[in-house]
Amino acid sequence: MKRKGILFIISSPSGTGKTTIANFLVTQDENIQRSVSFTTRQPRGNERYGMDYYFVDTDEFHKLLAEGKMLEHARVLQNYYGTSKEYIENTLEAGVDVLCCIDWQGADQVRQKVSSVSIFLLPPSLEELRRRLMSRGTDTKEVIEYRLKEALEEVKHFSKYDYVIINDDLQETKQKALAIIRAEREKLKENQVQIEKFVATLIS
């Protein structure tokens, strides 16, 4: 029986490290790919089209949405974000795991459509989150205050996730996330072995 891929979701308040963790995971494992989201926001720094995001305008985003090409979507800070339905389905069908960095709204939508394993990253404190957001140097003071306010709302949804990691030590968080990926694969492998044995007894 061919193994289908596993869809992994990583969510966190902005500045908590989900992008850093996701980039680490895909460099450690050749059988996991990071889903590249569509967004209407402008690129930051060295972000590249097709590598970090698919940067589109609002009209193009709404066209994709109307055509049913989004697995999930959300609006954050006046910008839209969305995940390609076709990419997720085709990659999982090919037996490759997919990693999605999406917020809790998107995660809620995905759970209704696709089986997934979800991880939520928590900041060690609001003060540390503020420091991280300020150190990025990409947002105004007003935007940072908005993100902190949103963070308080986002952490209320942590209980919906399969795993929760407090990201107070980046290296430790990386290893915990990698351990989760490997453990979930082993669970799937064990389940498939049991199913194959059961089917064999039925047809023997």
Binding residues: 12-19
C-alpha to C-alpha distance for 37 and 52, rounded to whole angstroms: 8
- Start-to-end CA distance of the chain, whole Å, equals 17
Cα separations in angstroms, 152 against 12, 52, 101, 157, 173: 11, 26, 19, 10, 21
**Residues annotated within a binding site for ATP:** 12-19
Helices (H) and strands (E) in the chain, counts: 7, 9
Give Cα 28 to chain centroid, integer Å: 16
Residues 6 or more apart whose CB falls under 8 angstroms from that of 61 comprise 38, 39, 40, 80, 82
Crossing angle, helix 141-154 and helix 126-136, to 10 degrees?
Answer: 140
For residue 203, give both structure tokens.
């047809």
**Amino acid residing at 179:** A
Tokens representing 147 are 């993100």
